[in-house]
Structure 1
Amino acid sequence: MSKHLFTVTSLNTYVKSLLSNEPTLQNITLKGEVSNLRKYSNGQYYFTLKDDKSRIQAVMFSNAIYSLTFNLEDGQEIIVTGDVSLYAQAGTYQIIVTSAMQSGLGNKLLELEKLKKKLYGEGLFDEQRKKPLPQFPQVIALITGANSAAEKDLIENLTRRNPLIKILVFNALVQGEKAPEDLIRALNQSKTFKPDLLIIGRGGGSIEDLWAFNDEQLVREIAAYPYPVIAAIGHEIDFTLVDYVADARVSTPTGAAELAVIDKVEIQQHLMNREDSIRRSLTLLLQSHIEKLGNYAKRPALINPLLTYEKYEERLINLRSNLSNFYPRYLNEIEQNITVYGDKLPNLLNERLRNYSELLDKLNLGLRSLGPNKVLKRGYAYIQNEHGEVLTSVDQVNISDIVQIRLHDGKIIVSVKGKE
């Protein structure tokens, strides 16, 4: 017999703790068919998940039920995520479901994730490629469902915020298999009107309702759209690939209108503030000029201009008098200098010429004493070959060469008999 005696409650509590503390059994993904579904008024679902051989009890609480994107019914094949636990009172183990999706949708979500990674790798979701929204758009294009609540909200809020905005509406299917093609048609049609801004949107719905906005071709068309795009699809928790590729994303059509257009009240307030600022600046400028004019008015020239005129007239008369006295004296001094220097100038020139003549004679005498004839007269001579070249070395002649010996009064022609 076991040494430890359990009660039923303690055993169930112990087993529950084992299951709850086993990481492998937490946050698991489980696929099965829904059966025996019971929906209680307290916001809890109880049902059985089964396959062809086994079954397990399941429970969903209100927070998990709120996140469902489809209506849970018996017979549906679903994929759930949750934690394995034990309901201690009944001694039955179960899975506490935290999220659920339809089985077929699970495969679609896997494909969507692959597409998302592919487009992300191509840079379609990069912030650097996104276009800035215009501050004051004049023409806004809307792509949304015909006569939808989203269309009504967008038009009402855009018009309320700025009634001068021109709104172009391009209706298209926003869910179903043909929706992507119709949305692309509306995109191409809107481009021809060259809007300042495009808003593409619809109201909330299940993930299946919003699936058209995950279409690859639609995403690429929006990426290539030449004007800024705001995506307003679903609610805050809904994200599609169009949300990632758009230049801006908001959770509701109303939010799109608020992002796209500045409220006229804000513009009016801004203009009033600018008017007050300009008025204050002009007042200060006017006061400054008035003060300057007051200072100018205190100047003597403006207080009594005749007195100022007489003062400057007197100065002008004095200047004229000084000039009339100065120039005769100045001219007289110049004439006296010309007379004095005119008498001395011939003597100065003659003396200067005599000095230069004596210097020239001395230089000429020196040059003559250094001339070649003077040297030859002292008994010197120089020798030339038959070509008239002066010889300075015995190596320049050979035996029997004819050379000329130049003296101061002539030359002697000789033949070389030998060299030493």
Structure 2
Amino acid sequence: MIDEAVSVSDLTNAIRALLTEGIGDVVVEGEISNYKHHTSGHRYFTLKDSEAQIACVMWRTRSVSFVPEDGMRVVIFGRLTVYPPQGRYQIDCALMRPAGIGDLHQAFEALKRRLDAKGLFAWERKRPLPRMPVVIGVITSPTGAAVQDIMSTIAGRFPAARVIFRPALVQGDGAAEDIALAIDQMNLTDAEVIIAGRGGGSLEDLWAFNTEPVAEAIYRSRLPVISAVGHETDVTIADLVADVRAATPTAAAVLATPVTIDDLLMSIDEARLSMIDTMTERVDDLMEMVTDFLDGTAAQRLMERIHLRAQRIDELTVRYERSVRHRLAMLTQRVDHAVTLCRSLHPLAPLRRGFAVVERNGHVVMTDEMLQPGETVTIRRHADVSMALIQATTPLTENIDGEDQGTTLA
């Protein structure tokens, strides 16, 4: 039996000495979670596996060759020690190197690829948000800060809106199934848009929004869905499937109420002023018309307008007739030119200029064909056709091309 009590500090220091001297330097592999790079330069995080976790600290004097982040699997080299203010053992890290992506992060990327291949992230299927919804569905934890941020923002921007709140589990066992069920149930109400989300957290805390049941529920929702998961740097599968992603729950409430009560009141005032101006202008116009008819000036101006229109019609008629005549003259000229060209290209056109065509047995005798004495040929001129008997053929000394030819006597 121990007769003398010791202080908490003494006991903690004794434990630290046992750990430091008994275990000392360690090399541990695990997955980073809750990583924080403090403004002081020190790094704080949790190293975990499927069954346990341990706190870690890495002082700013120790460099890292990469950027650590949640979900990354790393190997750390350090010394086991105790943090007395919290009575917690931790690893004082001297060196850290990547060992691959953590199991959760790998699962996230695998699901992301599979859902993308199924078309759940396609931009063409995303629906626009209603401009002024009067019923807004909200799905989140009833105890977190997110629900308060959403409710207060909607009430401040558009108090006429009615909120249908469906409390849901947002992390832990059964959270994914409860969120998916809540989305399906909200589609049975008269809500016009759904906000589904939660506050920020680690990858594990947000994991319910990285599951296929939630993604499928958002995809099949008939109502547009605004995802409001975590902070601006947190991106989940639900964000990728949702019609609109909000950086924070407060931003989601702003997106759901694009028209505020101030905007509505301003529009009413503008419409009222516009109606007054329109009615005043109309009354002034009618008063002016009545006055003009009473003194006869209106009828006179009407006749002047009629005469001006008639004159304008006459001018357009003359211009139209001139244009038509010019067009017809151009077309006639083109037709005459085409006829003349066709006539000049006709095979018998040279007969009009005194030439003749010699035919034998119904075929034209070509230049390179010689006629034989005793043959009967047909001589076709412009005005007549004659039959001739070839008596003799005498070659010419030279034709117009400079080639020797023969002379035919008929």
TM-score when scaled to structure 1? Answer: 0.50
Deviation string, structure 1 residues 354-411 (Cα, Å, up to 9, x no partner): xxxxxxxxxxxxxxxxxxxxxxxxxxxxxxxxxxxxxxxxxxxxxxxxxxxxxxxxxx
Structure-2 residue corresponding to 1:209:
205
Q: Does 1:295 align with 2:281?
A: no
Task: Provide the rounded CA distance (Å) in 2 between the counterparts of 1:214 and 1:225.
Answer: 17
Measured at CA, do residues 111 and 63 of structure 1 come closer, stay the same or move farther in structure 2, by a change above 3 Å?
A: farther
Deviation string, structure 1 residues 8-27 (Cα, Å, up to 9, x no partner): xxxxxxxxxxxxxxxxxxxx
Where in structure 2 are the equivalents of 1:119-158 lying within 5 Å? 119-158=115-154
Say which SS state the counterpart of residue 226 (structure 2) adopts: strand
Q: Does 1:99 align with 2:68?
A: yes
Post-superposition shift, 1:177? 2.5
Say which SS state the counterpart of residue 125 (structure 1) adopts: coil
Question: Gapped runs of 5+ residues in structure 2?
Answer: 1-18, 30-35, 75-100, 300-410
Post-superposition shift, 1:63? 6.7
Structure-2 residue corresponding to 1:184:
180
Measured at CA, do residues 65 and 269 of structure 1 come closer, stay the same or move farther in structure 2, by a change above 3 Å?
A: farther
Structure-1 residue corresponding to 2:362:
none
Is contact 2:219-2:242 (8 Å) kept? Answer: yes
TM-score when scaled to structure 2? Answer: 0.52
Task: Provide the rounded CA distance (Å) in 2 between the counterparts of 1:301 and 1:193.
Answer: 62
Measured at CA, do residues 130 and 49 of structure 1 come closer, stay the same or move farther in structure 2, by a change above 3 Å?
A: farther
Give 1:244's match in structure 2, choosing from 221, 240, 247. 240
Where in structure 2 are the equivalents of 1:1-12 lying within 5 Å? none
Letter in 1 for 2:113: K
Q: Does 1:281 align with 2:250?
A: no
Measured at CA, do residues 165 and 95 of structure 1 come closer, stay the same or move farther in structure 2, by a change above 3 Å?
A: closer
Structure-2 residue corresponding to 1:160:
156
Identical aligned residues as a percent: 33
Measured at CA, do residues 198 and 78 of structure 1 come closer, stay the same or move farther in structure 2, by a change above 3 Å?
A: same
Is contact 1:67-1:99 (8 Å) kept? Answer: no
Task: Provide the rounded CA distance (Å) in 1 between the counterparts of 2:240 and 2:298.
Answer: 76
Task: Provide the rounded CA distance (Å) in 2 between the counterparts of 1:49 and 1:268.
Answer: 67
Measured at CA, do residues 243 and 161 of structure 1 come closer, stay the same or move farther in structure 2, by a change above 3 Å?
A: same
Say which SS state the counterpart of residue 120 (structure 1) adopts: helix
Say which SS state the counterpart of residue 271 (structure 2) adopts: helix
Post-superposition shift, 1:109? 0.7
Give 1:50's match in structure 2, choosing from 27, 36, 60. 27
Letter in 1 for 2:68: S
Post-superposition shift, 1:155? 1.5
Is contact 1:162-1:264 (8 Å) kept? Answer: yes
Is contact 1:141-1:195 (8 Å) kept? Answer: yes
Measured at CA, do residues 76 and 193 of structure 1 come closer, stay the same or move farther in structure 2, by a change above 3 Å?
A: closer
Post-superposition shift, 1:97? 4.5
Q: Does 1:199 align with 2:195?
A: yes
Aligned residues: 238
Say which SS state the counterpart of residue 235 (structure 2) adopts: coil
Task: Provide the rounded CA distance (Å) in 1 between the counterparts of 2:236 and 2:40.
Answer: 21
Task: Provide the rounded CA distance (Å) in 1 between the counterparts of 2:26 and 2:172.
Answer: 30
Task: Determine which structure has the larger helix proportion and give its number.
Answer: 1
Task: Provide the rounded CA distance (Å) in 2 between the counterparts of 1:285 and 1:67.
Answer: 73
Post-superposition shift, 1:215? 0.5
Measured at CA, do residues 138 and 101 of structure 1 come closer, stay the same or move farther in structure 2, by a change above 3 Å?
A: closer
Task: Provide the rounded CA distance (Å) in 2 between the counterparts of 1:184 and 1:250.
Answer: 19
Give 2:262's match in structure 1, choosing from 237, 260, 265. 265
CA RMSD of aligned residues (A): 3.5
Letter in 2 for 1:156: S
Question: Gapped runs of 5+ residues in structure 1?
Answer: 1-34, 37-47, 53-59, 80-86, 88-92, 303-420
Is contact 1:64-1:98 (8 Å) kept? Answer: no
Where in structure 2 are the equivalents of 1:78-117 lying within 5 Å? 95-101=64-70, 103=73, 106-117=102-113
Measured at CA, do residues 281 and 106 of structure 1 come closer, stay the same or move farther in structure 2, by a change above 3 Å?
A: same
Deviation string, structure 1 residues 136-190 (Cα, Å, up to 9, x no partner): 1121111110132111221222122222212111111001131101112212222
Post-superposition shift, 1:273? 2.0
Say which SS state the counterpart of residue 68 (structure 2) adopts: strand
Letter in 2 for 1:288: D
Give 2:167's match in structure 1, choosing from 167, 171, 179. 171
4+ aligned runs moved over 6 Å, structure 1: 63-68
Say which SS state the counterpart of residue 169 (structure 1) adopts: strand
Structure-2 residue corresponding to 1:254:
250
Post-superposition shift, 1:239? 0.6
Is contact 2:179-2:214 (8 Å) kept? Answer: yes
Is contact 1:134-1:196 (8 Å) kept? Answer: yes
Say which SS state the counterpart of residue 67 (structure 2) adopts: strand
